[in-house]
Amino acid sequence: MPKMPSHTDITLPPDLHRKSGTGPVRLQQPVYVNSLPPCNHACPAGEDIQGWLDKAQAGEFEAAWRLLVRDNPLPAVHGRVCYHPCESACNRSHVDDAVSIHAVERFLGDLAIEHGWVPLVETEPTGRSVLVIGAGPSGLSAAWHLAQMGHRVEIREAGTMAGGMMRYGIPAYRMPRDILDAEVARIEQLGVKVTLGCKVEDVMVAKTEGGFDAVFMAIGAHLAKHAAIPARDCGRILDAVSYLAAVEAGDAPKLGRRVAVYGGGNTAMDAARTAKRLGAEEAMIIYRRDREHMPAHDFEATEAESEGIRINWLRTIRAIDSTTFQVEVMEIDANGQPQPTGTFETLEADSLVLALGQDVDASVIARIPGVSISRDGVVEVGPNMMTGAEGVFAGGDMVPSERTVTIATGHGKKAARHIDAWLRGAPYTKAPLQPRVHFNDLHLHYHTEAQQQQQSILPPLQRTRDFHEVTAGLTRQEALFEAARCYSCGNCFECDGCYGACPEHAITRLGRGNGYHINYDQCTGCQACVLQCPCNAMAMVPAEVAP
């Protein structure tokens, strides 16, 4: 869709909206503007969602994918594991259902893998090199963007496979490994060198000996948090991170017939669902808060319960004696915090999996002169994501933020821009945000309810038998339909409404992709074009400042 000249620097008189614009002297006249769709604003990876949806609804799938991966190199991954805050912000949700953005993104990502699409890089090599430590979402994202900027990039990963927590923390029934491998391979096709089984013990030595000009640290949170629980002759206790990693490595531990998982996050849900798939007759979750206050996303709990996982809400483990767990009933106070009630119950389980959160291994960071580590174990970075050590940047789980795949991917892109600017000796300045378009800004004089296309899901009894992917993707026709549900908030999609509404025939069509031209000699400033524009891509401005 065409990007029209923006009016964001124009200040309108406060009483201008009360004037019609017509009269002996025209006070206002229309201009085309580009504003920020709420989906774009909510995306942690900074995707131009509305832009690639426009290409997708026109059937230009490869063009849509190329626009998408300009910001995010892992669309097939994100289409499966991102919790899509963009959809929570979607203006369409005020009418029927939000556009299923993640499902269209997955469709494009899968299509790119099927057809072998690769990015077109025209940037000349800069002769500069960057070491990326960690092959998780943040490290892969940074490497992708730095390589497209012309820099030589090497990723060093301590594990034997790339992907970080996408591989070792997300089970295959949610994140198929062939999909992850294909998107990692595409990053390597770009020229990024991925060295596996290579744990960096001393960052500054690695930087110097490798001749790197900068370093981006993207070490994931792989160290599990533990709880002090009095125990006598207890059964097997292990942490969820180690458990899921062992399953991924094909060395799943034997947990017995009854498995308890302690925690209420997405990892707890995954651990319990994994235990069920590996033969546990009974898998339960014990969590000290209620459903409303759990860190897991609601659909995760719903899917777990549908697979037969029992969730014991408002319960905390006080002691373990062999296979008997003493749990105390909790209640939520006015501040949303769990408080003990003095009432106890017993539960039976052969083993316990702790899913209480993860920390970053800060040992390698502590050896870097000038780097500061906060009390919660994360690295302190400046606005440009550089640590206290010159030329050493950090992102993902290592810095203060929520820990999701999409946020980590956004960190990688942001860091790449700042690293590139630092290497070139000029600071990176982000373009100012355009005004956001809210639902009340749209002019939906009529609309047709078009319900969201639902992705099919395997029946519970079938999906607990193995690790096959639970949720299916959209068909080509469904993806076209879903992309077409986008309102194109804030950006012209050439619906011809302005052209048809102008009583003076002052608006001329310039052809698909080129937008419209307004003849101000014919325009009377009546606002007909602005008031009918469904996506709020037009505005009235004082006549003397209009182009």
Kindly state the percentage of the chain with pLDDT values over 90: 77
Question: What per-residue confidence (pLDDT) applies to 233?
Answer: 66
Least confident of 244-253, 254-263, 445-454: 445-454
Residue 452: is its pLDDT beyond 70?
yes
Provide the residue ranges of all domains of the chain, joining segments of one domain with +: 16-34+491-545, 38-117+446-484, 129-222+360-424, 224-358
For residue 9, name the pLDDT band (cuts at 50, 70, 90). Answer: very low
Q: Is the dihedral angle over the CA atoms 464, 465, 468, 470 positive or is it negative?
A: negative
User: Which option is the CATH number for 129-222+360-424: 3.90.1640.10, 3.40.50.2000, 3.50.50.60, 3.40.50.720?
Assistant: 3.50.50.60
For residue 7, name the pLDDT band (cuts at 50, 70, 90). Answer: very low
CATH topology of domain 224-358: FAD/NAD(P)-binding domain (3.50.50)
CA distance linking residue 371 with residue 350, whole number of Å: 44
Distances (CA, A) of 369 to 97, 146, 333, 340: 52, 25, 44, 45
Contact 326, 307 (CB under 8 A): no
Q: What CATH number labels 38-117+446-484?
A: 1.10.1060.10
Q: Which tens digits make up the pLDDT trace of 209-230? A: 999 999 999 998 877 788 778 7
Q: Which tens digits make up the pLDDT trace of 524-535? A: 999 999 999 999
CA gyration radius for the chain?
27
| 3-class SS shares of the chain: helix, strand, coil, % to 5 | 35, 20, 50
Least confident of 275-289, 398-412, 415-429: 398-412
**224-358: same fold as 38-117+446-484?**
no
Contacts of 406 (CB under 8 A, 6+ apart): 43, 44, 45, 78, 82, 83, 137
Looking at domain 16-34+491-545, which CATH architecture does it have? 2-Layer Sandwich (3.30)
